[in-house]
Structure 1
């Protein structure tokens, strides 16, 4: 019987194990943690956004890094297949804003438990608390894996599904990159993606934990060229900016040591400057005899008002009816373009995913097999593909895991 060793019991690894077991293979799934699916448990803030219910072409468009490489994977095991798989495992799903698909329970452990139940039902041999030390090849063909306890498992193929470098406490510590390099593969530059950002403006710490909805952002590079824009939710942290629109922006931004980015927030994107000016005039009329610091209560969250007042250069004690037209117009511009200067990304340990990985030109896109070593396959985040938030990254894991399991 053909034997396959799968390294990593995350979404991609468990998917691959299930498919390989269906083919009648002798499947050994090796996981360094004490349980499977540890990263699944923290995705989507513990709710687990399993996929996105959009058209396949839209899935590809939401993978800015090497999206076309996933054409076969996405069409072979689709987002519809993912939803049907979990439904068949007893997990009801629901679709929310932006076509994001979640378990109806809003509990990520329901997803991890369902995948674990599936591999158990298919008699996959699961080795927990076990680490692979080395993959050994002979004559450019996989021969065996050596575990850290020096035990050897002879096998016909190996699937590397070890994840990237993000969230190392879940087991993603870059092991897959080491295995790939040892076997002659190229690993592209690794950087955090879907990550919060630190900014230069010190006053941002006064806004910590403030969440804003229905704002828009625009990201500009050092040549003042817009490289990304988005609409949605943003969150201020002690160090800078976070939230869905910021995480998605990080996918489009390059190395911060080589590029100086500015992030411009439009606090009122539903109103153009003229309409916002009229709205402010209306508020000013209402608070005409109040101090300026009291005149923005209807327009902005309380926490951000002192910052806006400071940046507006209008004395907070100025009585509203004494504010000049020019000062009001400048206030409008400020609300439409609150600007932050990017200092750096937060550490890669905090990233949702890792950008970079095993070079896709060295992998067969139709099978996920290495073009360099026969019987060596890759699945999930270890490959140089990464997507925006919205369920796209887990879809990558399931689709590439399916191909690797089917062809290993």
Structure 2
């Protein structure tokens, strides 16, 4: 019976341990935290967005960091397999807006409990509060691991699934990168992905907590368009966040790292052409002709946003509507569709939902997840240089990689 060690009880690690045990291995799962699945507990705002119901090519397109690397592993264990797995474990699922898949209960705890229950059912030995420091080799191949306490565990194969370097409070403190680097693996520089952005403009503090739906946001670097997304965002005391902002943050981080001047241009009324928006503004002005400019926009904008927009358009909020010139009105329309924020930096990597960068995919077999440099060493999850947009894609990637690593660690006879 093969002895398999899995380091890290996150989604990838637990799935790897389950699959290895189902294939007849004796499996030990080593986790540094007091409980398994700590980071899973906070995904999807505590509801756990386990996957996405789109077809596989669409999912891979949304894995913007090395999605093609997952072609084999995802086709071997795709989103339908993930949904079936949880249903079989007694966790029914539902599909929501954007094809996001959640447990019907809306409780991440149910997802984690189901995986832990399956591990126990299969006889997987779970060792908690057991941080690993080194992967041990013998004659060039994996022989086991050493823990922080000095304990040694022997193994025929080791699966490294310790997560990235974001949300360190959940156990993702970058340990895996150090272990992989000691074994001569290349670590692609780490950057935050799915992280809020900080802005230079102070007015965002005045509108913090305000959410906007149906906004088109365009990311600009040195004046050139980098990325454009449509959807929901929110202002914070330091800048901006929300689904479309998080999805653009990887590119923003890259542009900032390259020393570029980064801006975010917001179209608050993307459904209207400039001409139609101008006509709409004129109708509102006719209705509120005896009011001040700030009160003449109450039907067009959220109350909190009116004065910042007028300020950006260089218009006096107290000016009577009937005194607004055509040129001033056109300036207002321009601002409504090109409200620009200067991005100064991302929030810290520790606050990112996902880490971009990690163990280079060039050094991992995409079918088996085995290292091309060290026989018997497998990788799965966020420790690998793979990351995706928000929407269930990152957890799907973790489950697919975990499945491949768990199965092939048992099947391989190298």
Which range, TM-score by smaller chain? over 0.9
TM-score between the two structures when normalised by the length of structure 2: 0.97
TM-score between the two structures when normalised by the length of structure 1: 0.98
The CA deviation string for residues 290-349 of structure 1, in whole angstroms up to 9 with x for no partner, is: 111111111111111111122222222211111011100110000001001110000011
The CA deviation string for residues 63-114 of structure 1, in whole angstroms up to 9 with x for no partner, is: 1111111100110000000000011111111111111111111111111111
- Separation in structure 1 between the aligned mates of residue 255 and residue 307 of structure 2, nearest angstrom: 33
CA offset at residue 255 of structure 1?
Answer: 4.5
- Separation in structure 2 between the aligned mates of residue 259 and residue 6 of structure 1, nearest angstrom: 41
> Contact 2:191/2:250 (CA < 8 Å) preserved in 1?
no
CA offset at residue 208 of structure 1?
Answer: 1.0
- Separation in structure 2 between the aligned mates of residue 255 and residue 131 of structure 1, nearest angstrom: 35
- 1:335-354 matches, within 5 Å, as 335-354=336-355
RMSD: 0.9
**What residue is the counterpart of 1:198 in the other structure?**
198
The answer to which of 311-320 and 144-153 deviates more is: 311-320
> Contact 1:64/1:252 (CA < 8 Å) preserved in 2?
no
**What residue is the counterpart of 2:186 in the other structure?**
186
1:121 aligns with 2:121: yes
> Contact 2:73/2:404 (CA < 8 Å) preserved in 1?
yes
> Contact 2:255/2:262 (CA < 8 Å) preserved in 1?
no
**What residue is the counterpart of 2:376 in the other structure?**
375
Secondary structure in 2 matching 1:405: helix
- 1:61-76 matches, within 5 Å, as 61-76=61-76
Query: Which aligned runs of 4 or more in structure 1 are off by greater than 6 angstroms?
Result: none
The answer to which of 345-354 and 142-151 deviates more is: 142-151
Secondary structure in 2 matching 1:340: strand
- Separation in structure 2 between the aligned mates of residue 90 and residue 346 of structure 1, nearest angstrom: 38
- Separation in structure 2 between the aligned mates of residue 311 and residue 147 of structure 1, nearest angstrom: 57
**What residue is the counterpart of 2:412 in the other structure?**
none
> Contact 1:261/1:342 (CA < 8 Å) preserved in 2?
yes
- 1:1-400 matches, within 5 Å, as 1-222=1-222, 224-253=223-252, 254-257=254-257, 258-400=259-401
- Separation in structure 2 between the aligned mates of residue 314 and residue 65 of structure 1, nearest angstrom: 43
Secondary structure in 1 matching 2:371: coil
> Contact 2:197/2:347 (CA < 8 Å) preserved in 1?
yes
The CA deviation string for residues 156-212 of structure 1, in whole angstroms up to 9 with x for no partner, is: 110000000000000000011011001110100001000000011122111111111
- For structure 2, the residue ranges without an aligned partner over 5 or more in a row are 410-414
- For structure 1, the residue ranges without an aligned partner over 5 or more in a row are none
